[in-house]
Amino acid sequence: MRHTQNELVIKSGILTRRGLLSAAALACSMLVGLSACERKEAPGASGNAAGSAQAAGDEWVIGHYGSLTGAQATFGRSTDNGIKLAVEEANKAGGVTFGGVKKKIRLVSDDTESKAEKAGAVVTKLITKDKVICLLGEVASKVSLAGADVAQPMGVPMITPSSTNPDVTKKGDMIFRVCFIDPFQGQVCAKFAREELKVTNAAVLFDQAGAYSVGLKDEFVANFKKMGGKIVSEQAYNEGDSDFNAQLTRIREAKPELLFIPGYYTDVANIARQARKLGMTMPLLGGDGWDSEDLAKNGGDAVEGAYYSNHYAPDQPSPEIEEFVTKYKSAFGSVPDGLAALGYDAAKILFDAMERSPNPTRKDLRDAIAATKNQKCVTGTISLNDDRDAVKSAVIVQMKGGKPVFRASIAP
């Protein structure tokens, strides 16, 4: 008997797809039970109509999986707001044409609780139950890595707005990003430390279980050394730790002129406070993971004057940014952070690709996303390279009066 591409079959008690053990199929069987996985259309729908239910419905359904609660909650909420703004604009204009058919967009947003172990189930649900044509998400690299493990074998395109770890898009040809990657971000931070802050001796404190943190630390260290700098102390922590005194005391003994912390805002605020308490007054530098209004809320004076690299700055001189900040403020009553800008850009890139798809299939949508070139967006001009990554500038901001202030833009 021949099996169609999307048919799932049972072989020697193991759920398989075309005879291949598939993590997605297993996730699907665990989540929705075998009967849902046995249907011919879902969940693969890789080449044919983008799910027959989808094609027959009167809306194009897109999914956002994000940290709407938990330790990185501001990441998910800002991203979701940015996506919502783009969806609202598209729907006001009558919807988006996909494979020649114009329909309104319906966004389904689901919470990963900032946990990588939740990503598989959330993504599986968006694909099998909501039958999304494309996924937007996640922010944190380790959550995106887990989500991509499901999206890729199920044949559903995924665009992460903001995961910068290089391994995310290496998961396969369905996985894209609209942000730069950490080898570039690490270089930007090292260059700023060496050339602008004129630092020779630096220390690093990183989250040893976070793909993003470890990757960015490695890139910073390699580049800083290449540029003639010296790393005098390298210390590790685990996300959610509350006491950093042991590591900070060791760092203090090494007398660095700068402390680089490639972590997320909750931990960074705690680290900064404890460092200042220990009398450590050196400048602090970090990456995009600091980008949250909670950094200043929780870090207070301890983060004042600190620097971090990011994808955009709301006060950066650019007509696209000005327009976006005004629209976002009137919709949500706050200044958009980098995540909001990237969520908006990711949705715009998706809509543009839908308009260019010859047919309303996930396969054609994938090819159209891959062909994205020179799209003028809020966070810069987006072109996707052969690795499905965006190549674009980074900015350095400095915390002043509790707010990130534009300091420099660094081109690749």
Residues making contact with ligand PHE (CB under 6 A): 75, 139-141, 162-165, 212, 288-289, 291, 338-339
CB of 341 to ligand PHE, least distance (A): 9
CB of 162 to ligand PHE, least distance (A): 4
The identity of residue 149, as a single letter, is D
SS3 per residue for 95-162: CEEECCEEEEEEEEEEECCCCHHHHHHHHHHHHHCCCCCCEEECCCHHHHHHHHHHHHHHCCCEEECC
State which residue, 114 or 372, has the beta carbon closest to ligand PHE: 114
Cα–Cα distance list, 338 to 292, 365, 386 (Å): 9, 26, 25
CB of 4 to ligand PHE, least distance (A): 37
CB of 102 to ligand PHE, least distance (A): 32
Produce one character per residue of 188-222: b if its CB has 16 or more CB atoms within 10 Å, e if not.
bbbbbbbeeeebebbbbbbbeebbbbbbbbbbbbe
Pick from 204, 249, 205: which is nearest to 224 by CA? 204
Cα–Cα distance list, 342 to 85, 128, 179, 287, 315 (Å): 12, 26, 7, 15, 16
State which residue, 75 or 237, has the beta carbon closest to ligand PHE: 75
State which residue, 288 or 389, has the beta carbon closest to ligand PHE: 288
Yes or no: say if 105 and 62 are a contact pair by the CB < 8 Å rule. yes
Question: Strands, E, within 263-360: which ranges?
Answer: 284-286, 307-310
Instruction: Verify cis geometry, omega within 30 degrees of 0, for the bond prior to 404.
Output: no
CB of 217 to ligand PHE, least distance (A): 12
CB of 180 to ligand PHE, least distance (A): 9
Phi/psi for 342 (5° steps) reads -70, -35
Alpha-carbon gap, residue 213 to 205, rounded angstroms: 9
State which residue, 278 or 332, has the beta carbon closest to ligand PHE: 332
State which residue, 69 or 97, has the beta carbon closest to ligand PHE: 69
CB of 176 to ligand PHE, least distance (A): 14
**C-beta neighbour count of 94 within 10 angstroms:** 10
Strands 307-310 and 394-400: antiparallel
Q: What is the dihedral of CA 233, 239, 245, 249, to 10 degrees?
A: 0
State which residue, 239 or 291, has the beta carbon closest to ligand PHE: 291
Tokens 């890789």, residue located: 46
Tokens 């674009």, residue located: 392
Yes or no: say if 199 and 258 are a contact pair by the CB < 8 Å rule. yes
State which residue, 46 or 163, has the beta carbon closest to ligand PHE: 163
Alpha-carbon gap, residue 124 to 375, rounded angstroms: 30
CB of 293 to ligand PHE, least distance (A): 12
**C-beta neighbour count of 339 within 10 angstroms:** 29
State which residue, 169 or 235, has the beta carbon closest to ligand PHE: 169
CB of 285 to ligand PHE, least distance (A): 15
Pick from 91, 120, 41, 78: which is nearest to 310 by CA? 78
State which residue, 98 or 344, has the beta carbon closest to ligand PHE: 344
State which residue, 139 or 189, has the beta carbon closest to ligand PHE: 139
CB of 140 to ligand PHE, least distance (A): 4
State which residue, 55 or 168, has the beta carbon closest to ligand PHE: 168
CB of 234 to ligand PHE, least distance (A): 20
Residue number with the smallest Cβ distance to ligand PHE: 212
